[in-house]
Amino acid sequence: MYTNGKSSKAKEWMQGLQLPQRQRTQDAAAISADHFQAREVELLAQESELDTLYSSLTAEEHQALRAMREDIFRLSSSQKLKQILDAPAPMLLVRSMPPQELLYNLKEIGLADSAEVLSLAHKEQITHILDIDCWRKDHLDTEQLTTWLQFFLSDDLDAAEQILRALDVEALVFYFQKLFVVHNTSEADAPEDYEGERIVTPFGTYTIDLPFEDNDPMQPLARAALKLFEMYGYEFCHRLFESIRWSLPSDLEEQAYQFHKSRMEDLGFVDYYEAIALFQPLPKQTPPFPASTAPEGAEVPVLLPIQSFGGRLAGVMRLLDPSVVARLRFEMVYLNNKMIAAEQLEAGDPRALERVMRFVQQMIEIGIEATCGADLEGGATLLRAHHLEWVFRVGFSEVLRLKKRASSLAREPHLTLFDQKRPFSLLSSPLQRFLSDLRAQTPRLFLGVFEQGSQVSRSFRSLDEIQRASETLDYIAFLPRLFFSLFGFSHSELQQQAPSLLQPQPLDKIQFALLFLTAWGQLHLHKHFTLRPLAREEVLPCLRAIFVEEAIPPRPLQASFTQTLHADIAQMSAFTESEQVHTTRFLQEIFALLHEEASMLSFEHQPDPRFFQLFLLR
């Protein structure tokens, strides 16, 4: 494997360099625009001393830089660029940003407009940025890397050179193996009948074939890259082109991945297979994880402050010392990064991070509530002593119990007319959505089961919401007993009759509510509570018995209908107290369905059943 010899010598030189620690003022009042401009001059004049210079910043200087970064984070994308470039020391400001934060700012500004900011960044920052944005599991995302290499097409090559310096040589060779077909002129291995674009290097040693169709957007990128490589001289091009000729792509990608993986773990992005442990319930009697020790000088990205969402966590945070808050920020970033790895989200997507942070904080709040109740001081004591990941997993375990129950209900044969590949077909659409969201990798709460018409699905926020979801699962588990035991219907007969007796309704539209209203229609018209479908001419008499006909639409339900329905069901079986609660809830769903489907219909003539679904029809 060939390496960049220039880079290797530079590393040897830097390893032998030792600089004394510089004395800095402790006077916070000295931090002004002039102060930072002076520091910028130092930085530009002594590039090789970057790490030493940055480590010599006082706590007050770090705090002032962080305040600038927080201001920038709150700005709109159009204002970020101006604010960064107009700062007293833009290079110092940019280089104080952790890689994630710098990446999100670049994405908000737009890569096409970010060349000036990128040219101010340090090589290691850009290396980490490319690690975050250009890898998917163990594969280099060459399409995403191409968006960064568009800087090669710019007249100002500072940003392009920054990208080139930051790439591992293995990743560089792997990528350009797809753009260049390299031939050594001394070996005469270039086919003479090649019809595409062929470039001879200025040294005459190599011919480069560009295997692209005319007008392919990759062609100008390949040409620009060749021009940039030539600026580094013969030795660099020789090593690069020979590596492109002889290296195995699989070996290159694997070696690049190992470097990438090591750096990502330093940022808190653990391996996917380790990260998914977050989605496992915390075993009972698991001892709490001890609080971490944040690495000295570790800089936490300015993304979303822990207190930004309010609630119980914000109240607890106000009771903690600044040193504990700093440690929790570090643990929060690590936990968010772990969650991004587990969810296989794009680590460079600010919106994805915001969703993850909301979810993580909500699980932490549930963990605090499950452990300490409403006692904020108890929550503060908990966070002082224990790692946020343990608190998160306590909260998430509460939600995972709901997921386990929902998955168990998916195996209940009496909730569907089909095989278990299509569970819950007999349930209403909101209940189907509710169970589907609970069975997701990160379970969510579908509010449509509590608020009619709502389509909102979000993370759980409290133990009270978990309790309401648990009660809904109890209700769903009761419905097969209501129909196939207390009402006396036969699930097996229904499955047998469905393809013929229940046409023309699509089978996946046959739900408990339609079955119940059909049986009620038979009881109302013929005094028998049975599942025989109604004739079309029987629909209007049923609707007139249900709604106040003379009322202005939307028509209310007749009081006599609702009262009689409650009384008729009460006579069918002796319900326990909990069963009575579930039965009342089912009837409320029936009333809501009736109002939604038919309260606006005209009763002057037979309604067209194509425009509503309430009964099974012959």
Q: Over 60: is that where the pLDDT of 308 sits?
A: no
How many distinct structural domains can be found in the chain?
A: 2
Which positions ≥6 away from 509 have C-beta within 8 Å? 613
Nearest in space to 390 (alpha carbons), one of 294, 312, 288, 317: 288
Same domain, residue pair 458 and 550: yes
Q: Could you give the CA distance from residue 194 to residue 478 in angstroms, rounded to a whole number? A: 73
Mean pLDDT, rounded, for 60-75: 87
| 3-class DSSP state of 435 | helix
The reply to whether 566 falls in a domain is yes
Q: Could you give the CA distance from residue 433 to residue 436 in angstroms, rounded to a whole number? A: 5
| 3-class DSSP state of 397 | helix
Q: Could you give the CA distance from residue 432 to residue 449 in angstroms, rounded to a whole number? A: 10
Same domain, residue pair 386 and 433: no
| 3-class DSSP state of 597 | helix
Distances (CA, A) of 283 to 34, 147, 288, 351, 394: 56, 44, 11, 32, 10
Say whether the peptide bond before residue 504 is cis (omega within 30 degrees of 0).
yes
Same domain, residue pair 321 and 460: no
Domain stops at, among 373, 396, 419: 396
Token look-up 């260049």 returns 180
Q: What is the pLDDT of residue 50?
A: 59
State the pLDDT confidence band at 23, using cuts at 50, 70 and 90. Answer: very low
**CA dihedral over 186, 187, 188, 194, signed as positive or negative:** negative
- Give the residue with greater pLDDT, 182 vs 237: 182
Residue type at 111 in one-letter notation: L
Q: What is the dihedral of CA 85, 86, 92, 94, to 10 degrees?
A: -40
Q: What is the pLDDT of residue 7?
A: 36
- Residues 287-293: contacts with CB within 8 Å, 24+ apart? 288/385, 288/386, 288/387, 288/390, 289/386, 289/387, 289/389, 289/390, 290/385, 290/386, 290/387, 291/327, 291/331, 291/384, 291/385, 291/386, 291/387, 292/327, 292/330, 292/331, 292/334, 292/387, 293/327
Q: What is the pLDDT of residue 38?
A: 59
Q: Could you give the CA distance from residue 81 to residue 85 in angstroms, rounded to a whole number? A: 6
Q: Over 80: is that where the pLDDT of 110 sits?
A: yes
Instruction: Give the pLDDT confidence of 451-504 residue by residue, as tens digits.
Output: 988 999 999 999 999 999 999 999 999 999 888 877 778 888 777 776 665 555
The reply to whether 330 falls in a domain is yes
The reply to whether 158 falls in a domain is no
Q: What is the pLDDT of residue 270?
A: 80
The reply to whether 383 falls in a domain is yes
State the pLDDT confidence band at 4, using cuts at 50, 70 and 90. Answer: very low
Instruction: Give the pLDDT confidence of 342-391 residue by residue, as tens digits.
Output: 888 877 677 788 888 889 999 999 999 999 998 999 999 999 999 999 99
Question: 390, exposed or middle or buried, with CB in 10 Å at 0-12, 13-18, 19+?
Answer: buried
Q: Please say whether the beta carbons of 438 and 444 come within 8 A.
A: yes
Same domain, residue pair 379 and 507: no
The reply to whether 249 falls in a domain is no
Same domain, residue pair 355 and 447: no
Same domain, residue pair 337 and 425: no
Token look-up 């690495």 returns 295
Q: Where are the beta strands (DSSP E) in 338-483?
A: 445-446, 457-458
Domain stops at, among 345, 372, 396: 396
Domain stops at, among 335, 366, 396: 396
Q: What is the pLDDT of residue 10?
A: 28
Same domain, residue pair 466 and 553: yes
Q: Could you give the CA distance from residue 89 to residue 70 in angstroms, rounded to a whole number? A: 16
The reply to whether 128 falls in a domain is no
- Give the residue with greater pLDDT, 440 vs 34: 440
State the pLDDT confidence band at 31, using cuts at 50, 70 and 90. Answer: very low
Q: What is the pLDDT of residue 483?
A: 85
Q: What is the pLDDT of residue 223?
A: 92
The reply to whether 21 falls in a domain is no
Q: What is the pLDDT of residue 341?
A: 84
Same domain, residue pair 483 and 598: yes
Q: Could you give the CA distance from residue 298 to residue 330 in angstroms, rounded to a whole number? A: 8
Most confident of 29-38, 95-104, 454-463: 454-463
Q: What is the pLDDT of residue 309?
A: 47
Question: 5, exposed or middle or buried, with CB in 10 Å at 0-12, 13-18, 19+?
Answer: exposed
Q: Could you give the CA distance from residue 556 to residue 552 in angstroms, rounded to a whole number? A: 9
- Residue-by-residue DSSP string for 113-139: G-HHHHHHS-HHHHHHHHHHHSEETTE
Percent of the chain scoring above 90 in pLDDT = 32
Same domain, residue pair 347 and 445: no
Residue numbers of the domain that contains 370? 272-396
Residue type at 572 in one-letter notation: M
Which positions ≥6 away from 361 have C-beta within 8 Å? 306, 309, 311, 313, 332
Same domain, residue pair 378 and 433: no
Q: Over 70: is that where the pLDDT of 316 sits?
A: yes
Instruction: Give the pLDDT confidence of 114-151 residue by residue, as tens digits.
Output: 999 998 898 889 999 999 999 888 899 999 999 999 98
Q: What angle is formed at CA 180 by the lines to CA 176 and CA 186, rounded to 5 degrees?
A: 125
Same domain, residue pair 570 and 602: yes
Nearest in space to 511 (alpha carbons), one of 429, 567, 407: 429
Same domain, residue pair 414 and 386: no
Q: What one-character DSSP code corresponds to residue 154?
A: S
Most confident of 295-309, 558-572, 578-592: 578-592
Q: What angle is formed at CA 336 by the lines to CA 332 and CA 338, rounded to 5 degrees?
A: 115
Q: Could you give the CA distance from residue 160 to residue 153 in angstroms, rounded to a whole number? A: 8
Which positions ≥6 away from 116 have C-beta within 8 Å? 81, 85, 159
Q: What is the pLDDT of residue 465?
A: 96
Q: What is the pLDDT of residue 16?
A: 30
- Give the residue with greater pLDDT, 58 vs 398: 398
Q: What integer best gives the mean pLDDT of the chain?
A: 82
Q: Are β-strands 139-140 and 181-184 bridged in parallel, bridged antiparallel, or unpaired?
A: unpaired
The reply to whether 132 falls in a domain is no
Q: Over 50: is that where the pLDDT of 578 sits?
A: yes
Q: Which two tokens stand for residue 595?
A: 């109002």
Q: Write down the pTM of the prediction.
A: 0.75
Of 39-43, 212-216, 333-337, 583-587, which gets the smallest average pLDDT? Answer: 39-43
Which positions ≥6 away from 366 have C-beta within 8 Å? 394, 395, 396, 398, 399, 460, 461, 462, 463, 466
Residue type at 301 in one-letter notation: P
Residue type at 423 in one-letter notation: P
Q: What is the 3-state secondary structure (H, E, C) of 205-262?
A: CEEEEECCCCCCCHHHHHHHHHHHHHCCCHHHHHHHHHHHHHCCHHHHHHHHHHHHHH
Q: Over 60: is that where the pLDDT of 43 sits?
A: no
